Structures are given as structure tokens and as C-alpha cells.
């Protein structure tokens, strides 16, 4: 059949069959000739036989390069024993155990457009402040709700704490929220008791530091280290995103959290017979302590006087017995030695002039001192505390709030202010009227700040007091604080020498109780070592002059001690008449405190005496009862 006689349909089928045949041939060629059906698995991939050699060659070259390169050091081993112990001690250590309050779904459920005013946050009133230097039990680890201060491992340390206390009108706050969100002036459908229940966010404490150029900027003080909710409450000071309201606000509804935010816990005091009270009660506490010290001093003087009379009576009794038997005693006024009783000028005079003066002075003080009504400090303190489990709506009138700064640095000067914060229940909802629209996204509504407090000078933990200048050096007194007890010692230093060193000291036994001296008079006091090293190096003595305006300009010339400490050059006047007023004040404060013994508890349940009396035996140290060199307040002779 010729091609001209083929029909169109046959012609189309012919080309289709031809095309399919070509495609099938190409597929067979590609699979069986080019790619090959025999793929080989090499490593984690499948490769054709043609590529096996190339893959092996690449791996071989990589191994060869690694063998020829220098060995890489192994990472240093770090012991995991401590981590293992901590995991065993707290299997829940990795969990966030912050208290989770009731879900705040009710805030999200409130929909629709509303318009409210802004509730008033009363300003804190009657601000009081106090500074306390004591020995407190410092926690050795970070506190959490599951590991609070009462359970933490602690050790006694010197601490400086500044406390601010103020009064807050809780009734005015409750009334303001009720007027704003559920008052008569609010549309009935907008009145909401949930919004009308305020939730405290905390107390913000700010401070300034006095620098050479003046007061610094105000800075927010971190929560005290004994606060188990410190991390949670600290978020309030910096929170800006309104969407965090539903996360924070339910947690602060918990009574334990907002109570701790308004009245944070104070350190446990390690000093025996020392307590802490808020500033409003602390002045009364110090007055009672001073009265107690005076009473103990009066009783000590009375005991000393009675012992002196007893010793004098025992000394004279043999003389009276001899005179009664007719032994004519010696008469210092010229009487003969007959058989009658001789005259004893001291027999009817057991008191010395000094004893009589002391007794009259004590009697006058007792008559002149008005009897103060005794304040029960514990009872008054309990009245200030918010009861555990108490709800905010149950409070009324004025409540007391306080907060602490335990991060002050010795030698610095500070002043403070504070304010109170309450959560904004409509933050992020755009429900505030146009007048208050700028507060729409504020998570916390703050009261105005209080006026700044007076300045607080924090004593250093060590001082160098140059007392006298010599031709080849300087005589200086080093004062150093350790666990609440000030230690003082004189050192003579030459240029290039360090100021202070390790010294052996003996405890002064001048304050033993009556009767102890007779039994222990021959016993030697064991010396104790104390390190007076200051890290300062004496450089030289230089002449200094200052000008003062007393009617006319007057030049004052004196010598100054130059020493290097902490990579800083210090120039301090020699002799107390040339010291600055702050240095003189510090010296008087330290010398007064150094006379008192401090007993510090080693643990919250145990105790030991860290105190050490100043002065040595027979060296004529300071006698609080007016005695001279080597004077024994209990009647013993000087040695």
C-alpha cells in the first residue's frame, strides 16, 4: 500500500507509535546504560558503581589530612559532683515555683468599649528612716518561695541596712477604685467589682549617692537579699508591656506576695539581745537600751561600793577586837597607849569621799530623771504588721509600709525617697477617658514620690587615724570592724611600710563580775590574734595649708599623712585638731562603740562571744567609772 493512499487517521497513529517507541528507547538507555540499575549503598547514601571510587577517595583524603594535622586538646574536665548533689537536694530545682494565682480570664472576658477615669493613688505620708549597722545572718544562696529565708543556709556577717517607713491611706485607695470602676457616676453596664478591687504592685525605693560633683541620679534599689519574692516584685519596677498584666496581677493577689511587697522581712539579727524594729519604734528601742545600760552601770557601781565596804570592814574588824581587849593601840593624834580602847580614825568611816560623791550623784540623777512610761515595743510592733492571710478589702484606715536597702557601700552617703504602686486593671484596653489616655498602657499606677530623706553617712569598715607625726614616721591608730566589734590599735609606720599587721592582744579583764578577780587574779589571759592589715602603704609626710574665713582669711598650716590604698592616693591631716568634721565624728563613734562587748551567735540557735575589750592589763586604759591607771572597778589594786 502506498503512503499516498494512507488515511489521516493511520498517519496520526503511525507518528504516535513512533514517538512512544523513541521515548521508551531513551528511558531504557538512560536507566540501563547511563545510570545503571546496580546502585551501591555507601555510608548513609546510595551511589552508582561509577561514583564509588570517587566517594572512597574523598573520604580517604579527609582521613589522611586529619592524621597529618596536630591533635586537638580535649576539653578540660569539670567536676559534676556539686551539680549532682544540688539535683539530689532539690529535684524540683528547675521548675518555676512562683505562686500561681487564679487565672485572670475575667479580665480578658470583659469586652466592649468603656470609658473610665483614673483612680487616685494616695501619697505616702509621715516618712521615717533609720540606719542600722549590726551583724545579720546572710543567706548563702538565692532565695525562692520554695527555699525561703527560714530554711536557707546562713552565716553571720556585718551588714548595713537603711529602712524607710511611711503611712498609706488604704481606705482612700479602696474608695477611689470603687468610685472609678463601680461608682454611681459610672454606667450600670460598666460597673465592675473585679476592676474596683485594687491589687498592690509594691513599694519602690530610690536613692541618690553623694559624689564629688553633687547628688547622682535617682536609682531604684533592688529588693533585699532575704526576700523570697525579690525576683517577682522586681519585675514591677521595669514592666512596660501591657500584656504582662494578666501574668503578674494574679500572682500579686496572693496575700503572702502583696504583704511581703509592703512589709518585707528583715534579717535575723546575730547579736545577742539586739532586735530590729521599724523606724517609728526604733528611737524608743534605743532609749530603752540606753536606760538599761545606765541601770546596769548603776548596779555595778553599787555592787563595787558594797564590796569596798565589806573589804574595809574585814580589814578593821581585827583592830576593833584588839582594842576591846585593852591593848592600847597607837593614837595618831597623840593619845597614849593605855589599857583603854585606842582611837581608830577610820572605824566609823567606811565610805571614802569618792564613794560619797558617786552616791550623791546617782541619787541626784534618780531624782532629776523623770519616770518615762514604758512602751511595750513588741505589742506596738504587732499592731503595725498586716496579719497573715488577711485580705486587702479587710484593711481600713492607715497601714504602715516599709522597705529596706541592704546594698549600701561603706564610706558612701545616701538619701532616699519612695512611692507606692497599684496595678492598672484596664492597662492595654484603651478604656481610660481622653483626659487620662497617656496612662492606657501603664501596667502600674504609681503615687507621687515622698520628699527626700536626710542624708545617711555609712561608716567604713576600717579607718586610719593619724595621731602624731615623728621625724622618721607617723603614729596612727587603725580601727577595724569585725562581726559588730570595733578593734583599735596604735601603729608606728615609716615610709614604705604597710599600715597595720597581725597583732596578738590580751582580753582586758577589767569588767569581770564581782568575785571573779580574787579567784582568777593569778591566771594569765590567753592572747588572741587580730589582723589589722589595711592594704595601705605609708608614702610620706607633707606640709599642708588651708584657708578659713574668720572675719579675715586665716591660713592654717599642718602636716598630712600620704598613703596609697586601693590604688588611690590619700592625704589625711595628722592630729585630731586638724581632722575633718566627718573624720572626728567617725572617731568618736568608733571609740564609744569599741568600749562595748558584742556577743554574736554563730548560728540561729547557738552563740559565741566575738567581743574583745580594748586596752591591756595594767596599762591605764579608759575606765568608765573614772579610775586612773590600772584602776580596778571592782576594788582590786592596780598592777
Q: Could you read off the pLDDT of 595-627 as tens digits, one per residue?
A: 888 889 888 875 443 333 333 333 333 333 333
Beta strand 125-139 with 456-457: parallel, antiparallel or unpaired?
A: unpaired
pLDDT digits (tens, 9 = 90+) for 144-192: 888 889 889 999 999 999 999 999 999 999 999 999 999 988 999 999 9
Which ranges constitute the DSSP H helices of 253-347?
255-262, 279-324
Q: How many residues does the chain have?
A: 639
Q: Work out the angle between the directed axes of helices 377-384 and 279-324 (0-180°, nearest 10).
A: 170
Contact (CB, 8 A) for 430 and 478: no
- Per-residue confidence (pLDDT) for residue 38, from 0 to 100: 66
Distance, CA of 5 to CA of 10 (rounded, Å): 10
Average pLDDT of span 508-518: 42
- Decide: helix, strand or coil at residue 471: coil
Which of 130-144, 157-171, 283-297, 573-587 is the least confident region? 283-297
Distance, CA of 375 to CA of 353 (rounded, Å): 38
The DSSP line for 195-228 is TTS--EEEEEEEEEEEETTEE---EEPPPPTT-T
Burial degree of 308 (CB within 10 A; 0-12, 13-18, 19+): middle
Q: Between the CA of residue 115 and those of 191, 290, 442, 598, what are the distances in Å?
A: 11, 59, 16, 62
Which of 20-24, 114-118, 475-479, 480-484 is the least confident region? 20-24
Average pLDDT of span 13-25: 85
Distance, CA of 408 to CA of 207 (rounded, Å): 10
Contact (CB, 8 A) for 384 and 276: no
Average pLDDT of span 250-255: 89
- Per-residue confidence (pLDDT) for residue 130, from 0 to 100: 94
492 confidence band (pLDDT: 50, 70, 90): very high
The widest CA-to-CA distance across the chain, in whole angstroms, is 191
Residue environment code for 133-143, b if the CB has 16+ CB neighbours within 10 A, otherwise e: bbbbbbbeeeb
Distance, CA of 465 to CA of 470 (rounded, Å): 15
Average pLDDT of span 321-334: 46
The DSSP line for 414-480 is EEEEEEEEEE-TTTTTT-B-GGGGGGTT-SEEEPPPPPP---EEPPPSEEEEEEEEETTEEEEEEEE
Q: Between the CA of residue 439 and those of 227, 261, 426, what are the distances in Å?
A: 30, 23, 10
Distance, CA of 332 to CA of 93 (rounded, Å): 89
Radius of gyration of the chain (CA): 43
β-strand partners of 138: 155
Average pLDDT of span 250-262: 90
Q: Work out the angle between the directed axes of helices 245-252 and 255-262 (0-180°, nearest 10).
A: 90
pLDDT at 344 exceeding the cut of 50: no
Task: Tell me the HSE value of 181 on the side-chain side, using a 13 A CA sphere.
Answer: 22
Output helix, strand, coil percentages for the chain, rounded to the nearest 5: 35, 25, 40
Distance, CA of 131 to CA of 459 (rounded, Å): 11
DSSP secondary structure code for residue 72 in this structure: P
Average pLDDT of span 203-215: 94
Contact (CB, 8 A) for 607 and 601: yes
Contact (CB, 8 A) for 595 and 297: no
- Per-residue confidence (pLDDT) for residue 528, from 0 to 100: 82
Q: Work out the angle between the directed axes of helices 353-368 and 279-324 (0-180°, nearest 10).
A: 150
Contact (CB, 8 A) for 118 and 439: yes
Which of 417-431, 437-451, 523-537 is the least confident region? 523-537
β-strand partners of 470: 473
- Per-residue confidence (pLDDT) for residue 13, from 0 to 100: 83
Q: Closest Cα to residue 244, out of 107, 111, 146, 122?
A: 107
The DSSP line for 302-323 is HHHHHHHHHHHHHHHHHHHHHH
Distance, CA of 176 to CA of 23 (rounded, Å): 88
pLDDT at 256 exceeding the cut of 50: yes
- Per-residue confidence (pLDDT) for residue 96, from 0 to 100: 52
- Decide: helix, strand or coil at residue 441: coil
Ordered strands of the 485-493 beta sheet: 462-470, 473-482, 485-493
pLDDT digits (tens, 9 = 90+) for 346-362: 444 445 555 556 666 66
Which ranges constitute the DSSP H helices of 449-571?
516-520
For the four alpha carbons of 359, 365, 366 and 367, in that order, the dihedral sign comes to positive
pLDDT digits (tens, 9 = 90+) for 379-429: 999 999 998 888 888 888 999 999 999 999 999 999 999 999 999 999 888
Distance, CA of 607 to CA of 406 (rounded, Å): 24
Amino acid at each position: 500500500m502506498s503512503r499516498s493512499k494512507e488515511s489521516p487517521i493511520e498517519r496520526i497513529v503511525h507518528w504516535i507509535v513512533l514517538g512512544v517507541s523513541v521515548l521508551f528507547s531513551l528511558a531504557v538507555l538512560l536507566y540501563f546504560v547511563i545510570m545503571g540499575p546496580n546502585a551501591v549503598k555507601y555510608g548513609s547514601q546510595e551511589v552508582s558503581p561509577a561514583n564509588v571510587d570517587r566517594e572512597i577517595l574523598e573520604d580517604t583524603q579527609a582521613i589522611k589530612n586529619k592524621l597529618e594535622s596536630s591533635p586537638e586538646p580535649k576539653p578540660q574536665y569539670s567536676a559534676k559532683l556539686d551539680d549532682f548533689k544540688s539535683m539530689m537536694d532539690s529535684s524540683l530545682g528547675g521548675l518555676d515555683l512562683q505562686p500561681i494565682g487564679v487565672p485572670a480570664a475575667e479580665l480578658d472576658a470583659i469586652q466592649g468599649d468603656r470609658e473610665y477615669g483614673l483612680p487616685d493613688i494616695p501619697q505616702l505620708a509621715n516618712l521615717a528612716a533609720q540606719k542600722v549597722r549590726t551583724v545579720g545572718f546572710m543567706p548563702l544562696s538565692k532565695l525562692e518561695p520554695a527555699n525561703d529565708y527560714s530554711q536557707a543556709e546562713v552565716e553571720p556577717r556585718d551588714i548595713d541596712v537603711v529602712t524607710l517607713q511611711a503611712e498609706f491611706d488604704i481606705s482612700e485607695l479602696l474608695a477611689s477604685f470603687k468610685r472609678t470602676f463601680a461608682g454611681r457616676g459610672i454606667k450600670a453596664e460598666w460597673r465592675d467589682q473585679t476592676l474596683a478591687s485594687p491589687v498592690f504592685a509594691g513599694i519602690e525605693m530610690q536613692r541618690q549617692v553623694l559624689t564629688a560633683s553633687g547628688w547622682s541620679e535617682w536609682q531604684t534599689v533592688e529588693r533585699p537579699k532575704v526576700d523570697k519574692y525579690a525576683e517577682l516584685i522586681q519585675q514591677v519596677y521595669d514592666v512596660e508591656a501591657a500584656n504582662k498584666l494578666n501574668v503578674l496581677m494574679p500572682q500579686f493577689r496572693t496575700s503572702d506576695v502583696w504583704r511581703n511587697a509592703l512589709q518585707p522581712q528583715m534579717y535575723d539579727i546575730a547579736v545577742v539581745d539586739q532586735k530590729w524594729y521599724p523606724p517609728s519604734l526604733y528611737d524608743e528601742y534605743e532609749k530603752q537600751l540606753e536606760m538599761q545600760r545606765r541601770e546596769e552601770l548603776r548596779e555595778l557601781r553599787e555592787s563595787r561600793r558594797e564590796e569596798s565596804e565589806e573589804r574595809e570592814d574585814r580589814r578593821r574588824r581585827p583592830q576593833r577586837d584588839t582594842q576591846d581587849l585593852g591593848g592600847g593601840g597607837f593614837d595618831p593624834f597623840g593619845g597614849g597607849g593605855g589599857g583603854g580602847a585606842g582611837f581608830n580614825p577610820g572605824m566609823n568611816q567606811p565610805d571614802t569621799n569618792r564613794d560619797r560623791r558617786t552616791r550623791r550623784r546617782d541619787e541626784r540623777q534618780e531624782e532629776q530623771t523623770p519616770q518615762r512610761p514604758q512602751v511595750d515595743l513588741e505589742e506596738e510592733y504587732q499592731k503595725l504588721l498586716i496579719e497573715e492571710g488577711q485580705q486587702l478589702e479587710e484593711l481600713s484606715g492607715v497601714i504602715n509600709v516599709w522597705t529596706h536597702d541592704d546594698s549600701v557601700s561603706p564610706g558612701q552617703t545616701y538619701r532616699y525617697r519612695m512611692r507606692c504602686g497599684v496595678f492598672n486593671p484596664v492597662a492595654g484596653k484603651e478604656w481610660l477617658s481622653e483626659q487620662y489616655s497617656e496612662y492606657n498602657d501603664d501596667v502600674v499606677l504609681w503615687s507621687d514620690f515622698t520628699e527626700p530623706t536626710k542624708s545617711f553617712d555609712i561608716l567604713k569598715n576600717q579607718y586610719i587615724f593619724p595621731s602624731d607625726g615623728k621625724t622618721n614616721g607617723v603614729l596612727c591608730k587603725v580601727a577595724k570592724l569585725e562581726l559588730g566589734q570595733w578593734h583599735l590599735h596604735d601603729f608606728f609606720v615609716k615610709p614604705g611600710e604597710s599600715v597595720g599587721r597581725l597583732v596578738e592582744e590580751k582580753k582586758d579583764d577589767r569588767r569581770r563580775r564581782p568575785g571573779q578577780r580574787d579567784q582568777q587574779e593569778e591566771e594569765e589571759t590567753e592572747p588572741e590574734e587580730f589582723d589589722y592589715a589595711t592594704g595601705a602603704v605609708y608614702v610620706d609626710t607633707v606640709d599642708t595649708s588651708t584657708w578659713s574665713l574668720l572675719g579675715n582669711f586665716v591660713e592654717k598650716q599642718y602636716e598630712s599623712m600620704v598613703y596609697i590604698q586601693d590604688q588611690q592616693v590619700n592625704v589625711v591631716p595628722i592630729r585630731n585638731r586638724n581632722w575633718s568634721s566627718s573624720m572626728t565624728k567617725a572617731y568618736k563613734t568608733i571609740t564609744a562603740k569599741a568600749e562595748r562587748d558584742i556577743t554574736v551567735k554563730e548560728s540561729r540557735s547557738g552563740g559565741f562571744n566575738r567581743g574583745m575589750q580594748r586596752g591591756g592589763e595594767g596599762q591605764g586604759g579608759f575606765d568608765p567609772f573614772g579610775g586612773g591607771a590600772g584602776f580596778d572597778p571592782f576594788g582590786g589594786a592596780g598592777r
